[in-house]
Amino acid sequence: MDSGIGLLPTAAAIRRLRPDADLVLSWDPDGMPWGPRTAEDITQRAIAVAEAACAHEPDVLIVACNTASVHSLPALRARFEPDVPIIGTVPAIKPAAAGGGPVAIWATPATTGSAYQRGLIERFAEGVAVTEVACPGLADAVHHADEDAVDAAIASAAARTPDDVTTLVLGCTNYELVAERIRAAVQRPGRPPLMLHGSAGAVAAQGLRRIGVEPAPDAVADTTLTVLLSGREANLPDTALAYEEGRFLQVVSPVR
């Protein structure tokens, strides 16, 4: 589940780890974007999106959304666990800071400056120069596959990112869909290649571990992909198919 199509990288990562897994993708186009909303409003919408997914009786529910994880994990766990294990998405600050920095964290306005993110910085990035960069409009632009708006939002965030940054945390799962465009905008001439840290792969692996399932990338099965848009069953929208991850999921899974 996610507010939008930022769940595609995690879903694709799960499909690569377990090609035999049936997937339910639940997101909220009616409520996009979640980033500017209040924490209470985000939690209400997150619970609704999760309820739509849990009606399909999943083995595990991955909250593939940094904003929902920051604000709504306690409420989601109180509502659904222990019946359905809940896996949150944490910005990859720990592995990013391990390289020594300087580090920039790109995130939605709701995540940037939050007590949750500040706590992760204090816990895992002590002594490392960290700059939090709010990216208003970027998640929404990616969700709608609006190329011009994506370019404008990336350019704005890049202009507010210090020149000496060597490592960048993609603190919103939507951003992983345009990771190379972000790298191109932030990479400075004459400097070492910029390191990007997303969360999709690690979160997908954690989801499998939580239910005791080992990766089996060679497994073969007739799997399904169920898409829920604000609770309504649908096909993958054209905006999802604008990205490699969406096309991959459609090719390998009959959409129900």
CA 134 to CA 114: how far, in whole Å? 11
Catalytic entry in 65, 76, 141, 227 = 65
DSSP3 helix / strand / coil % (the chain, rounded to 5): 45, 15, 40
Q: Which of 12, 158, 170, 172 is catalytic?
A: 172
- Sequential DSSP letters for 146-215: -HHHHHHHHHHHHHTS-TT--EEEE-SGGGGGGHHHHHHHHPPTTSPPPEEE-SHHHHHHHHHHHTT---
Q: 90: number of CA atoms within 13 Å, CB side? A: 17
Buried/exposed code over 109-124 (b: 16+ C-beta within 10 A; e: otherwise): bbbbebebbeebbeeb
Residues 174 and 149 sit within 8 Å (Cβ to Cβ): no
172 is catalytic: yes
Q: Is 65 one of the catalytic residues?
A: yes
By annotation, the residues acting in catalysis are 65, 172
